[in-house]
């Protein structure tokens, strides 16, 4: 069902980019773009209304203008590879801040991988990393941000449930440190301690380095490791990207990635490279990324590691503030 809905979405949205050539009637293209605007506005309005309804339990004085705090993203990623065939990865994440709580409390809801949800690495993680054992489930949580004065340091806490009706609870504490190490480079580190009923206690560490190599060249380095009490060793992922900005809204890129688990029978489960193109698509808040590449997957000792082709696209819609 999800695959069918995803394909219908692609068939509806993608032709808009080429509406001038594909349809003789400009009004049809305008209608499709207007529908996209309405969808985004409706999504933002729904999330804001939910926050207003929850906050109404704590006060009798409501200022509707204060409830414009929703933010989030909706991603759809169809990909084909010689190893996995066709698969469609999708994720949704929304966050709202409650004004009545001095903007220190927030709520989050999403669908996707639990590791991405609690570490907020859904944007930095390479979309080509295969997550065959990941938890693609709905999650909901509450967060507390004490607003430490030093902007380089951020501490936050969260709690919630994942797994739908399974109600698998979790707790987490996050510390993030951002530092500008030169006029052209910024380093971010994030340390998380968490407990989840199904995994026990765990820790996750992420490091990101962004550097402008020139006016047009950009480098992004990313590495993440997660260990849980009931997991098999350390789950680790790493990526190195280079972008060439040939236009203010478009870039060509190359990426190398690796991932694995230290206690898995094959510690290095996959690595590869891809060429990609990223651009704004119709609107400032809609992005389209496409790629083609080779990877060398191996998940069992009996497998022979061989190069496999992969191609894919990703649509990302940002909404809210």
- Which residue in the block uniquely carries the two structure tokens 């990393």? 129
On the CB side of 40, CA atoms within 13 Å amount to 20
Task: Please name the residues in contact with 309: beta carbons below 8 A apart, sequence gap of 6 or more.
Answer: 81, 82, 292, 293, 294
- Residue-by-residue pLDDT tens, the chain, 321 positions: 443 344 334 433 443 333 344 445 555 566 666 888 888 888 888 877 777 776 666 666 666 666 777 888 888 889 999 998 998 888 888 888 777 655 667 778 877 777 777 666 655 566 666 554 445 677 788 888 776 556 778 888 888 887 656 678 889 999 999 999 999 999 999 999 998 877 789 899 999 999 999 999 999 999 999 888 877 789 899 999 999 999 989 999 999 999 999 988 899 999 999 999 999 988 889 999 999 999 999 989 999 999 999 999 999 999 876
Rounded alpha-carbon distances, angstroms, from residue 83 to 86, 89, 136, 254, 269: 9, 16, 20, 21, 12
pTM above 0.85, yes or no: no
CATH code reported for the domain at 2-320: 2.40.160
261 vs 54: CA distance, rounded Å? 40
Contact 111, 74 (CB under 8 A): no
Strands (E), the chain: 71-81, 85-97, 105-112, 137-144, 153-162, 168-182, 185-196, 200-212, 217-228, 234-247, 250-261, 268-281, 283-295, 308-320
């Amino acid at each position: 069902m999800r695959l069918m809905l995803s394909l219908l979405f692609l068939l509806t949205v993608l032709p808009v980019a080429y509406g001038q050539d594909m349809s003789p009637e400009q009004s049809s293209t305008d209608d499709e773009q207007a529908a996209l605007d309405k969808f985004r506005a409706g999504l933002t309005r729904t999330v804001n209304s939910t926050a207003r309804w929850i906050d109404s339990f704590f006060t009798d004085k409501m200022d509707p203008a204060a409830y414009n705090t929703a933010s989030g993203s909706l991603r759809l990623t169809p990909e084909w590879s010689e190893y996995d065939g066709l698969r469609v990865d999708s994720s949704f994440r929304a966050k709202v801040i409650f004004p009545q709580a001095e903007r220190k409390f927030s709520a989050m809801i999403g669908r996707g991988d639990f590791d991405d949800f609690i570490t907020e690495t859904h944007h930095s993680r390479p979309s080509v990393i295969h997550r065959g054992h990941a938890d693609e489930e709905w999650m909901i949580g509450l967060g507390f941000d004490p607003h430490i004065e030093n902007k380089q340091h951020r501490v936050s806490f969260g709690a919630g449930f994942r797994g739908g009706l399974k109600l698998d609870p979790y707790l987490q504490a996050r510390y993030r440190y951002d530092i500008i190490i030169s006029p052209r480079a910024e380093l971010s580190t994030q340390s998380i301690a968490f407990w989840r009923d199904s995994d026990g206690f765990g820790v996750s560490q992420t490091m990101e380095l962004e550097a402008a190599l020139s006016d047009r060249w950009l480098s992004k380095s990313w590495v993440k490791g997660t260990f849980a009490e009931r997991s098999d060793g350390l789950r680790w992922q790493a990526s190195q990207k280079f972008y060439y900005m040939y236009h203010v809204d478009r870039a060509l890129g190359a990426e190398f990635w690796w991932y694995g688990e230290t206690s898995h029978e094959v510690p290095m489960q996959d690595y590869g490279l891809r060429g990609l193109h990223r651009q704004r698509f119709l609107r400032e808040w809609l992005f389209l990324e496409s790629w083609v590449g080779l990877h060398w997957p191996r998940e069992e000792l009996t497998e022979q590691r061989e190069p496999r082709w992969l191609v894919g696209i990703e649509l990302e819609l940002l909404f809210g503030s």
